[in-house]
Protein backbone atom coordinates (compact mmCIF):
# COMPACT_ATOMS: atom_id res chain seq x y z
CA UNK A 1 0.00 0.00 0.00
CA UNK A 2 1.41 3.45 -0.87
CA UNK A 3 2.63 5.55 1.99
CA UNK A 4 0.99 8.92 2.65
CA UNK A 5 3.27 11.84 2.02
CA UNK A 6 4.10 14.23 4.87
CA UNK A 7 2.54 17.05 2.87
CA UNK A 8 -0.90 15.43 3.11
CA UNK A 9 -0.71 14.60 6.80
CA UNK A 10 -0.02 18.20 7.80
CA UNK A 11 -3.02 19.67 5.98
CA UNK A 12 -5.89 21.27 7.96
CA UNK A 13 -8.22 18.48 6.80
CA UNK A 14 -6.07 15.92 8.64
CA UNK A 15 -5.69 17.88 11.87
CA UNK A 16 -7.59 16.52 14.86
CA UNK A 17 -8.85 19.19 17.23
CA UNK A 18 -9.98 18.21 20.72
CA UNK A 19 -13.20 19.84 21.80
CA UNK A 20 -14.04 20.60 25.42
CA UNK A 21 -16.96 18.54 26.65
CA UNK A 22 -19.59 21.25 27.06
CA UNK A 23 -23.22 20.99 25.93
CA UNK A 24 -22.85 23.41 23.00
CA UNK A 25 -19.94 21.43 21.55
CA UNK A 26 -21.75 18.14 22.16
CA UNK A 27 -24.70 19.51 20.21
CA UNK A 28 -22.40 20.67 17.43
CA UNK A 29 -20.72 17.27 17.29
CA UNK A 30 -24.12 15.58 17.13
CA UNK A 31 -25.20 17.90 14.30
CA UNK A 32 -21.97 17.30 12.36
CA UNK A 33 -22.33 13.56 12.92
CA UNK A 34 -25.88 13.69 11.55
CA UNK A 35 -24.75 15.61 8.45
CA UNK A 36 -21.80 13.26 7.90
CA UNK A 37 -24.08 10.24 8.20
CA UNK A 38 -26.47 11.73 5.62
CA UNK A 39 -23.61 12.41 3.21
CA UNK A 40 -22.10 8.94 3.69
CA UNK A 41 -25.49 7.32 3.20
CA UNK A 42 -25.94 9.23 -0.06
CA UNK A 43 -22.49 8.58 -1.51
CA UNK A 44 -22.52 4.89 -0.57
CA UNK A 45 -25.70 4.31 -2.62
CA UNK A 46 -24.61 1.84 -5.31
CA UNK A 47 -27.39 2.94 -7.65
CA UNK A 48 -25.91 6.42 -8.05
CA UNK A 49 -23.85 6.97 -11.17
CA UNK A 50 -22.93 10.58 -10.38
CA UNK A 51 -22.63 12.26 -7.00
CA UNK A 52 -24.59 15.52 -7.06
CA UNK A 53 -22.94 17.92 -4.61
CA UNK A 54 -25.68 20.54 -5.04
CA UNK A 55 -28.28 17.92 -4.10
CA UNK A 56 -26.28 17.03 -0.99
CA UNK A 57 -25.98 20.69 0.02
CA UNK A 58 -29.66 21.39 -0.63
CA UNK A 59 -31.12 18.23 0.88
CA UNK A 60 -28.94 17.78 3.97
CA UNK A 61 -30.31 20.18 6.56
CA UNK A 62 -27.65 22.59 7.76
CA UNK A 63 -24.90 21.32 5.45
CA UNK A 64 -24.98 24.28 3.05
CA UNK A 65 -24.76 26.80 5.91
CA UNK A 66 -21.95 24.82 7.53
CA UNK A 67 -20.05 24.61 4.22
CA UNK A 68 -20.36 28.37 3.60
CA UNK A 69 -19.18 29.11 7.15
CA UNK A 70 -16.29 26.65 6.76
CA UNK A 71 -15.21 28.24 3.48
CA UNK A 72 -15.29 31.75 4.93
CA UNK A 73 -13.25 30.66 7.96
CA UNK A 74 -10.68 29.05 5.69
CA UNK A 75 -10.37 31.99 3.31
CA UNK A 76 -6.78 32.70 4.41
CA UNK A 77 -5.63 29.17 3.63
CA UNK A 78 -7.39 29.32 0.25
CA UNK A 79 -5.62 32.59 -0.54
CA UNK A 80 -2.28 31.06 0.48
CA UNK A 81 -2.92 27.98 -1.66
CA UNK A 82 -3.69 30.20 -4.66
CA UNK A 83 -0.56 32.30 -4.09
CA UNK A 84 1.58 29.18 -3.90
CA UNK A 85 0.14 27.68 -7.08
CA UNK A 86 0.55 30.81 -9.23
CA UNK A 87 4.13 29.96 -10.13
CA UNK A 88 2.97 26.68 -11.69
CA UNK A 89 0.54 28.37 -14.09
CA UNK A 90 1.26 29.30 -17.68
CA UNK A 91 1.43 32.93 -18.74
CA UNK A 92 -1.86 32.45 -20.59
CA UNK A 93 -3.56 31.17 -17.42
CA UNK A 94 -2.16 34.07 -15.40
CA UNK A 95 -3.47 36.56 -17.95
CA UNK A 96 -6.93 34.95 -17.82
CA UNK A 97 -6.94 35.25 -14.03
CA UNK A 98 -5.83 38.87 -14.30
CA UNK A 99 -8.73 39.61 -16.67
CA UNK A 100 -11.19 37.95 -14.30
CA UNK A 101 -9.89 40.03 -11.41
CA UNK A 102 -10.19 43.24 -13.44
CA UNK A 103 -13.70 42.25 -14.54
CA UNK A 104 -14.81 41.61 -10.94
CA UNK A 105 -13.20 44.74 -9.46
Distance CA 68, CA 90 (A): 30
Q: How far apart are CA 34 and CA 39, in angstroms?
A: 9
How far is Cα 78 from Cα 53, in angstroms, rounded to an integer? 20
Residue pair 39/63 in contact (Cβ under 8 Å)? The answer is: yes
Kindly give the confidence (pLDDT) of every residue in the chain, 105 residues in length, as a single tens digit, with 9 standing for 90 and above: 334 444 444 555 555 555 566 777 888 899 999 999 999 999 999 998 999 999 999 999 999 999 999 989 999 899 999 999 999 999 999 999 999 999 998
Task: Give pTM, 2 decimals.
Answer: 0.52
CB 77 within 8 A of CB 12: yes
Return the pLDDT at 15.
59
Amino acid sequence: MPKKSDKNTNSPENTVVSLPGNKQNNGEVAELTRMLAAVMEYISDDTLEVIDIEYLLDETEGLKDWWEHYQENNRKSIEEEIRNSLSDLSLDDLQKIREQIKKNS
